[in-house]
Every structure is written in C-alpha cells, then in structure tokens.
Amino acid sequence: MSTLTLVRHGQARAFEKDSDRLTGFGEQQARMLGTWWRDRGVTFTEVYCGTLERQRHTAKLAGYPGAIADAAWNEYDAAGILALSPEFAAQFEPHRRAPDANRHFQRAFEQAMMRWVAGDLSSPSVESFERFHQRITAALSAILAGEALSRRVLVVTSGGPIGAMVQSVLRAPPGMAIELNWRVRNSSITEFLFSGGRIALDSFNATPHLTEPHLVTYR
C-alpha cells in the first residue's frame, strides 16, 4: 500500500499585486510542518510541487528544496475568473473599505466561482473548470501509474487541486470541488492510500503542526 500526501501552501498574499508569495505567517506555517514531520520521522520517497512560487517556497521551507515542479499541480486562475465576472466588482467594490470587507469579498467570489464551474464564465485566456479538473485528474493518474511498491508521495499544491482531488476520489458532484476548496487550510495535510490503480481518501485538511488556533488560516 502506498500513500499520497497533499499539502496546501502556506498563507500567501492573496489578490495583492505580488500575490504569488508567502506571507511571514505562511513561511512560519511551512517551517512548522517540516519540523512536525522531522520530529516524527516522516519521510517521502517522491516529492512534487506546482510551479507557483508559493508552492515551491512551501516545499523548500518544509524541508524539500529539491521537489520536482510540475505545472499540473498549479492553482486555477482566480484573478482571471474574477475579471470575467462583472457582478463581482458590482457586489464587492461598494464594501471594499467596510469592516466586514472580507465577508463581502468571499460571498462575491463564491458566486463567481460557481458560475465558472457551471461554464458560464469563459475566455480563451482563462482555463475552464473542465480543463482544470482534467488537469488535476491527469496528474493523479500519472502518480497512480508508478510501478514501485510502498511509495510515499508528497505533493505541495493549492486549495483548488486538493478540493478537486477529494471530490474526484469520492465521486461527488463536480461543484463539490470548489465547496471543499473553501475549507482547505494553509499548510494542511490531506492523505490518500493507493494501490493497483485504486485510491481512497484517508484524512482531510489536518493541521496537527499548527498548535495554536491563531495559526490556522484559509487564504
């Protein structure tokens, strides 16, 4: 039996001009994950990550600077999706400076994402949900195709691919991929067991290395 561990990157500077970068808090989360693994003797035989800086940096700080970068594990284009949704600006901009701006942002973002999942938002320059989902399932198939026994595979990726993986393995409706995505914590651990082309979810969204509630973040 082999294991596949998916880790979401540490907290990043979401929707800032330089959004593909960990915050200081995100760097701390990644280091704490690496320390938690080392203290328990956890090692991996194969390590991959997406090509985004926040994914690569998380892998490095967690103790795997030599992780193989593969764009198949990159996040969906959130900025591109929001740019296709005029309703997003109309719903969020009036509340940008409000004390509860984050709540208004999330509500508008969720609506735009569900339209993207349904295929109502499309552009040649923005990856569709269908293509995104196919990319993630193909990346999973490539891992399952390996012939070695008792493999311990680590992939440092993002919330969207993790949500899509869990939804696919559980054979849930496609929209569940995004619902799960909202719940994925920064630096969290999601584990699968696989053998002979079969795969099963073993644990989801665990953060045992984040020892205080204030260390848990979602964006």
**Residues 99 and 142 grouped into a single domain:** no
Last residue in a domain, options 126, 145, 164: 126
**88 and 190 assigned to the same domain:** no
On the question of pLDDT at 17 being above 80, the answer is: no
Compute the mean pLDDT over every residue in the chain, rounded to the nearest whole number.
93
Last residue of one domain, picked from the residues 111, 126, 141? 126
Is there a single domain that holds both residue 66 and residue 81? no
Which stretch of 13-27, 60-74, 154-168, 186-200 has the lowest confidence by average pLDDT?
Answer: 13-27
For 61, other C-beta atoms within 10 Å of its C-beta total 23
- Mark whether 204 and 140 lie in a shared domain: yes
Cα–Cα distance for residue pair 61/49, rounded to 1 Å: 13
Residues 98 and 35 in one domain: no
One-letter identity of residue 62: A
Q: Are residues 19 and 116 in the same domain?
A: no
Res. 15: pLDDT tops 80: no
Cα dist from 96 to 16, 52, 100, 101, 182, whole Å: 14, 27, 9, 5, 20
CATH of the domain at 190: 3.40.50.1240
Chain centroid to CA 110? 16
What tokens were used for 154?
A: 């680590």
Mean pLDDT of 125-152: 94
As a residue count, the chain comes to 219
94-137 tens-digit pLDDT: 777 888 878 888 888 899 999 999 999 989 999 999 999 999 99
**108 in the same domain as 190:** no
What's the rounded mean pLDDT across residues 171-177? 94
- Nearest in space to 45 (alpha carbons), one of 74, 66, 70: 66
Q: In total, how many domains does the chain have?
A: 2
Contact assessment for residue 116 and residue 129, using Cβ atoms and an 8 Å cutoff: yes
Q: Pairing state of beta strands 189-195 and 46-49?
A: unpaired
- From CA 52, how far away is CA 55, in angstroms rounded? 5
Q: Identify the domain containing residue 94 by its residue range.
A: 77-126
Same domain for 98 and 196? no
Predicted structure pTM score: 0.94
174, 27 Cβ separation under 8 angstroms: no
